[in-house]
Structure 1
């Protein structure tokens, strides 16, 4: 019998050409039609199993194969084909002979006896509905003339002991009870978008109606896994057709859809409200019993127990497979089973609490709380209450209040799966007020929501749209952001202030949606670091950068090239660009790439103030272009990081010319690990001594300046008006003589050095002693000092503590990776506890014993 939930009968589907081949994933060969996959598999293997959920097209496919076999169009390999349905096997009585068994099945027209078992095919549809024990360890037989039990006979056929060489084609839901059979397994994917499109076009004769119905389906329900089920598509199209004919609004959520389905089914049955309520309660009791018992199939006695056997509505919800006396029953739809369960709770006048009801079923259901949440909103249940009367308001209020408390508590936590569940519940409610009430400032919406399902992103997008604005959307480590996902999330991206897409990969179409969302939205920060962007994707991204509110863009290690920089130029040069921070760290853009960027940086419209170019395969060849940028009146650059590039002495000489230009605005320059030597120091000295040099921060770490080069830099820093506040000279081959000059600079208070890093210069206690003395000087304004790995010992601790006590400005001290031992721990603890201005001392990786850790724990300002 054809029903809304059960789908159209296979023969009708085939005759009306509504059938579209479902897809299967088989041995990583991609997506092929199920008929093709079965035909191929039967040529390669004796036993083929097709596994798929309810309504996925298994039976329809077998019917089509069988009908085509009758016409001689398929299955030509086999002279004899026998077709059995799993439920029909239950009506067979023991004992039974093999010959009698064959008479019970449908068969292709054939003549003559079986002479070659290799030309025989047995088809078992819905084998999981067979109630007989199919365990080969219990019974197998090989004598075709000996009557035996149905269990033994079917098991022997499956295992090949009864008809060696015969082929088996069986369909089943995924079930461990049949794992003993060596077989090829085809897993159904169901309808993907192309198949759904074809199905809707065939169902609705009017092309415009079909297009509109499909578009609505895809945007409201197409993201659910169940949307791949042909049966579900049939159900949706049937309900859409009724609603369109009556001029009603199509449903926006799963709850609204099932409200319409249940209302449609009840409208067909002449029950009064009381009788309808009793039926729904009885169906709910059946649904609960099946769910808690994990029963997919059940017997007639269960219907009798719940008073449903003769109910006129029963066949609309439950399918009977087999002859009446031995039929196996199952729900047409697991979704409807859970929906009925939710409705019955709100209809049932008994006093079971919401908490106990939900707790009892939570491990056995998937959508129960989702449906209950949807039913809490009055507008979602109006049509249902026309047939059932008002649902229990007290239970609804209890559930709604509990839901809001649950969501508020969950969203303060750090579990993204729990967050998603709350988003789904709020989505079903469709209430802006509830969303805004639940999501308080304490909600941690900054969690990484990477690698969620499409359906989760739909719910997240709904929440974001109700809020109107999000501080951050974090999709960190999304393994593949598909075009479909990006399309769903585009509105959320547009209302997010910060977007984190670190370590992500993308489909090309996804980047197009991202660019469009940036163009339309309010996003100010975008982190794409360590994400793989091919040339096409990056070019697409740049189209959205020309006219957006983005202020910070992190493209670190995105496999960009010099061509990528060419794509960036129009965006950076646009008069609508707001970008002030750009990071290209770890990309092989090379000199040609920087040359292209410099073209944009000279534009009067460019607003970039911070440029991160460390590890970008740059050489001295591109430094003259950057120097020209610094000299141009249009450059806004305040901070440039060139670390870990082969800039060399020649490159620094070119940069130095720009640094002393009157129009230069650069305040921070990092040249760490740039293969510099003493040879570049005269040019640097000249730049620092210029009255126009605006530098306040300079990092020259990991270069081979040596004593003479460093002394030249110190002399330059003595220049009146020098602005340097932060200086990095880590691992620069400095000597004690240089430390004497640095100490003198600190005592002068000019330049106003606030941060000095001189670690990894092995000058020992004697060298660093000069800095401890400088810290005591009243003119010293140093706030941070790094002397890591300078060969300090316990001998320096007394001077160090005296310096800390005397200094009025020092806040942070790095002395890790030295040789200070346990004997100095009490002094370190005391000086940090007594110092009002010291915030942190790092003493990690010194020669402390484990027994000192408990003592260090008494002072939270020490990192050990």
Structure 2
């Protein structure tokens, strides 16, 4: 086909446009308003790769088959026609001398045996071009549009493919031979399609058409509306209020929205809140354009509903004239033209939009219940084909939404409405009792479509879902989720994880965040522009706790967050594993010393804060404005170098710090010495100190002993686990603990290389009458039955106040069972006993169970990972407070 013929064929073609189809490709190209659709890869690259560029690049590189895949209305056909026009004008694809353009739906109707020459003749191409192409196939490009409308398979298996251009064969065989390189080997092919099963038979380069991202949508809306402020308002509303972000990428959907919005804005009417409301407006416009009476409008919609159902159930995209007459269209002549696309040459009719196809089916269901089964059967029959039918049914079930249509098509069937509402209520209640998050998403979307706050409160009792948890939501999920929460009102907790949080997502979630006392946003990735909106939502609402663990914020995003949180009511902020460095601590310092900051707990675990960063945080504790009471700094690259600054902060007289966790930091013995000097100071208010795995030895215990002996010592909890204290160090610690009035209530010495002598001293301490210890953890010290025996004796002593004892993995055997049971029976205070990972056997079980039954105060005995056989599991099962 020569270049002049291409321009004539494309630019002079006439396609009737409706608000369902937007401007025709010809109109868009001729008016120079063409905006290139983007590829799916453009989401992840700043290059914003367009479909045009990707196709041209692949063909210029010598790729012989390029497949353009995209959903309905994503701009595939317009992109192909723009590509052909550019080639005809000599602007692109200079390596091709011949271009042939086909529609698969036209190929579908060809019958009988024909040669390649005849095939091309049927498609209005010139025969002399074919003869030249046979000689020079490398110069030819074949463009096929609409593979999804093709009813034949492209599978070459089991077929004798053609290789001779003059050979007569069926049209399907000719197409398979062309696309698989048997016929005209060396020619290039470009195939456009919606997702379809035939794709698996096509190899080559694949270009996925995404449609419009935000920059393209902005350009489109600005070209549609003369007033830029109106364009901005319309775009903002479409993206944030309708909540169907996936559709926003479709150029056709953007055109339809603009068409409807312009009419509503011009008449000062309210813009739609849901997809259902949008299609109520579209259908009202289309029906009014037919100028029929109400009775005939009703019959038209019922006919459209029959056709829609038939096409979904039988997987037909097009119907013949005979078929549409069976649906009742013979009464309307051309009245259905706004809804249906008529292919005169093929004598077939198809829906202009699958969304409208689903919407008219939903409306027909409510118009006449005699033609349809109950809602559950209808949805089940159309499952997989009609993806949004339940959403449209939900929207149309609400009188406020369907009322505009009733003036055009008459009243909806009250029994159908009642049946659907009953299904929605019972189905939603059942779904929300379970834990399938995908079903929860769908339930919330249905409720969002209804737009009835009373119904939401009826279906989702606040007490039943005090915490709503969602993982990996899309924007449309967030819209529905936020709507439901706003309807329910203030709540305890909201958790969203596993998402890439963009600005638009945070804006629609903001009302829900503001109503939640605890907001958990762990394991998310935040777009920079989303962070200030998050801070604003938290600051404007009732949120007291914000968890951003593993959100990989980094210092720059944290700076924005801190700036927005200075006026918040936050009491707790969790920034664990957020890729922070010492640079962030200036911002945290500013936040902590803000005049109205109420932050009391800060967690910045697993970040590279280092001594330099920690010293900045210590400065905050010198300020009378700092209300910090708890600081979690596990694995923050701290050393003894910053402990002097920390000790000075604790002694400043302004520090409110009560709890610090320094787990997995190389504090060392010298660091503990500095801390112990602070613990002896009258201004130090610290009550909990965790030094788990901090590189300590027995040398630090002399300093701890001195601190423990001090009258100003205020610690209630001390954790020294996973440090090599040894016998000498631990015995010094025991001396300090023996001071009358020592406030320690919880002591953790897990895997500290303790000996039987130390256990004996601990037992003596617990029996002394002066010890107030309630929690003792000494697991992973391999002292055996004899080593632990002093603790059993102490537990049953009337002076012992121990409530929890952990002797996990201390090499206990059945030899300890008599002492163990005597301790359990005799204790007045013990509630929990940890015996995991020891060597108790089946023989110990009866006695242990009886001892547990004899002491009603015992809440839990953990016997997991001992040497039990399955023979005793049933016996252990009978005791509710034994874990095994």
TM range (shorter): over 0.9
1:155-199: CA deviation from partner (whole Å, max 9, x where unpaired): 333334332322222322222235434432222111222112111
The 1-side partners of 2:235 and 2:168 are apart by: 54
Shift in Å at residue 285 of structure 1? 0.9
Q: Matches of residues 254-269 of structure 1 in structure 2 within 5 Å? A: 254-269=275-290
The 1-side partners of 2:723 and 2:83 are apart by: 76
Match of 1:429 in 2: 450
Q: Does 1:312 align with 2:330?
A: no
Q: Does 1:20 align with 2:38?
A: no
Q: Matches of residues 177-188 of structure 1 in structure 2 within 5 Å? A: 177=198, 179-188=200-209
- Aligned partners of 2:120 and 2:127 also within 8 Å: no
Match of 1:346 in 2: 366
The 1-side partners of 2:215 and 2:275 are apart by: 22
1:743-800: CA deviation from partner (whole Å, max 9, x where unpaired): 2222222121111222233333333222222223222211111222333332222122
Match of 1:279 in 2: 300
Quickly say closer, same or farther: Cα 1:169–1:700, change in 2 above 3 A: closer
1:94-147: CA deviation from partner (whole Å, max 9, x where unpaired): 343433433333459998951422222222222443456655444533333344
Shift in Å at residue 447 of structure 1? 5.1
Shift in Å at residue 679 of structure 1? 2.5
The 2-side partners of 1:626 and 1:711 are apart by: 27
Which of 586, 600, 609 is matched with 2:629 structurally?
609
Secondary structure class of the residue paired with 1:315? coil
Match of 2:8 in 1: none
Which of 46, 50, 60 is matched with 1:33 structurally?
50
The 2-side partners of 1:743 and 1:111 are apart by: 102
TM-score, length-scaled by structure 1: 0.95
Point out the more displaced range, 137-146 or 25-34. 25-34
TM-score, length-scaled by structure 2: 0.92
1:278-319: CA deviation from partner (whole Å, max 9, x where unpaired): 111111011111112222233333212212255433222221
Secondary structure class of the residue paired with 1:260? helix
Q: Matches of residues 709-728 of structure 1 in structure 2 within 5 Å? A: 709-728=729-748
Cα RMSD of the aligned pairs, angstroms, is 2.4
Q: Does 1:192 align with 2:209?
A: no
Point out the more displaced range, 180-189 or 132-141. 132-141
1:471-508: CA deviation from partner (whole Å, max 9, x where unpaired): 22212333x22233223222222222111122222222
- Aligned partners of 1:647 and 1:674 also within 8 Å: yes
The 1-side partners of 2:97 and 2:282 are apart by: 45
Q: Does 1:674 align with 2:689?
A: no
The 1-side partners of 2:498 and 2:187 are apart by: 50
Quickly say closer, same or farther: Cα 1:81–1:550, change in 2 above 3 A: same
Shift in Å at residue 735 of structure 1? 3.1
The 2-side partners of 1:317 and 1:687 are apart by: 85
1:248-294: CA deviation from partner (whole Å, max 9, x where unpaired): 22222111111011110111112111111111111101111111222
Q: Matches of residues 401-800 of structure 1 in structure 2 within 5 Å? A: 401-444=422-465, 446=467, 448-478=469-499, 480-800=500-820
- Aligned partners of 1:557 and 1:584 also within 8 Å: yes
Shift in Å at residue 373 of structure 1? 0.8
The 2-side partners of 1:737 and 1:128 are apart by: 81
Shift in Å at residue 843 of structure 1? 2.4
The 1-side partners of 2:729 and 2:497 are apart by: 44
Point out the more displaced range, 66-75 or 223-232. 66-75
Q: Matches of residues 778-857 of structure 1 in structure 2 within 5 Å? A: 778-857=798-877
Which of 37, 46, 50 is matched with 2:68 structurally?
50
The 1-side partners of 2:159 and 2:207 are apart by: 27
Shift in Å at residue 656 of structure 1? 1.4
Quickly say closer, same or farther: Cα 1:770–1:166, change in 2 above 3 A: closer
Shift in Å at residue 442 of structure 1? 4.8
Q: Does 1:76 align with 2:91?
A: no
Q: Does 1:67 align with 2:68?
A: no
Shift in Å at residue 424 of structure 1? 0.7
Shift in Å at residue 609 of structure 1? 1.3
The 2-side partners of 1:484 and 1:458 are apart by: 10
Which of 17, 20, 37 is matched with 1:2 structurally?
17
- Aligned partners of 2:462 and 2:488 also within 8 Å: no
Quickly say closer, same or farther: Cα 1:90–1:393, change in 2 above 3 A: same
Q: Does 1:376 align with 2:393?
A: no
Shift in Å at residue 554 of structure 1? 1.9
The 2-side partners of 1:813 and 1:42 are apart by: 72
Secondary structure class of the residue paired with 2:329? coil
The 2-side partners of 1:840 and 1:607 are apart by: 37
Secondary structure class of the residue paired with 2:557? helix
Secondary structure class of the residue paired with 2:315? coil
Point out the more displaced range, 23-32 or 275-284. 23-32
1:184-223: CA deviation from partner (whole Å, max 9, x where unpaired): 2222111222112111222223333323222222223464
Q: Does 1:11 align with 2:31?
A: no
Match of 2:123 in 1: 105
Q: Matches of residues 296-335 of structure 1 in structure 2 within 5 Å? A: 296-309=317-330, 310-321=332-343, 323=345, 326-335=346-355
Secondary structure class of the residue paired with 1:676? coil
Secondary structure class of the residue paired with 1:278? helix
The 2-side partners of 1:99 and 1:331 are apart by: 33
- Aligned partners of 1:6 and 1:316 also within 8 Å: no
How many positions carry a matched residue from both structures?
861
The 1-side partners of 2:804 and 2:112 are apart by: 90
Secondary structure class of the residue paired with 1:598? helix
The 1-side partners of 2:633 and 2:167 are apart by: 84
Point out the more displaced range, 627-636 or 162-171. 162-171
The 2-side partners of 1:182 and 1:686 are apart by: 77
Secondary structure class of the residue paired with 2:166? coil
Which of 85, 88, 92 is matched with 2:106 structurally?
88
Secondary structure class of the residue paired with 2:773? coil
Point out the more displaced range, 302-311 or 564-573. 302-311
The 1-side partners of 2:541 and 2:184 are apart by: 68
The 2-side partners of 1:779 and 1:222 are apart by: 65
Quickly say closer, same or farther: Cα 1:851–1:135, change in 2 above 3 A: closer
Quickly say closer, same or farther: Cα 1:651–1:386, change in 2 above 3 A: same
- Aligned partners of 2:242 and 2:272 also within 8 Å: no
The 2-side partners of 1:54 and 1:265 are apart by: 20
- Aligned partners of 1:756 and 1:786 also within 8 Å: yes
- Aligned partners of 1:608 and 1:637 also within 8 Å: yes
Q: Which runs of 5+ in 1 are unaligned?
A: none
Quickly say closer, same or farther: Cα 1:112–1:506, change in 2 above 3 A: closer
Quickly say closer, same or farther: Cα 1:416–1:93, change in 2 above 3 A: closer
1:42-101: CA deviation from partner (whole Å, max 9, x where unpaired): 222222222222222222222223333333334433333222223333554534343343
